Amino acid sequence: MKKTFFTERMKMADVIAANHNLILVMPRLGIPLGFGERSVQEVCDQYAMPVDFVLLVFNVYTFDDFNPNDEALRPASLEHLVPYLMASHKYYVNERLPHIERHLTRVAQHAGERYGQILKNFFADYEKEVLEHFASEENDVFPYLHSLLKGQHLDNQVSEHFADRHTDLVDKLSDLTQIVYKYLPGETMTEELNELVFGVMQLSSDLQKHAKLEEKVLMPYIEQLERSLQ
Partner 1 sequence: MKPKINLLIAEPSDIIRSGLMSLLGDDEFEFMAPLRDLPTDLPLRLPHLQPDILLLNPTLLQSPAKMQLAALMQARPQMAVVALVYQYVEPQLLQSFKTILDIREQGSHLPQLLRDCCQNADEASDENYDLSERESEVLVLVAQGLSSKEIADKLSISIHTVNTHRKNITHKTGIKSVAGLAVYAMLHNLV
Residues near partner 1 (CB under 8 A): 1, 62-65, 67, 115, 118-119, 122, 125-126, 167-168, 170-172, 174-176, 178-179, 182-184, 208
Least gap, CB of 73 to partner 1 (angstroms): 16
* Residue among 175 and 191 whose Cβ is closer to partner 1: 175
- Distance (Å, whole) CA 105 – CA 40: 41
Least gap, CB of 22 to partner 1 (angstroms): 14
Nearest in space to 26 (alpha carbons), one of 8, 37, 40: 40
- Distance (Å, whole) CA 106 – CA 116: 9
CA distances from 34 to 13, 18, 27 (A): 9, 17, 12
Least gap, CB of 119 to partner 1 (angstroms): 8
* Residue among 19 and 41 whose Cβ is closer to partner 1: 19
Least gap, CB of 192 to partner 1 (angstroms): 18
* Residue among 56 and 148 whose Cβ is closer to partner 1: 56
Least gap, CB of 36 to partner 1 (angstroms): 27
* β strands within the chain, DSSP E: none
- Distance (Å, whole) CA 212 – CA 54: 15
* Residue among 80 and 209 whose Cβ is closer to partner 1: 209
* Residue among 65 and 160 whose Cβ is closer to partner 1: 65
Q: Count Cβ atoms below 10 Å from residue 102 Cβ, excluding itself.
A: 14
CA distances from 185 to 13, 107, 121, 201 (A): 43, 11, 18, 20
Beta bridge partners of residue 11, listed in sequence order: 39
Under 8 Å between Cβ of 55 and 40: yes
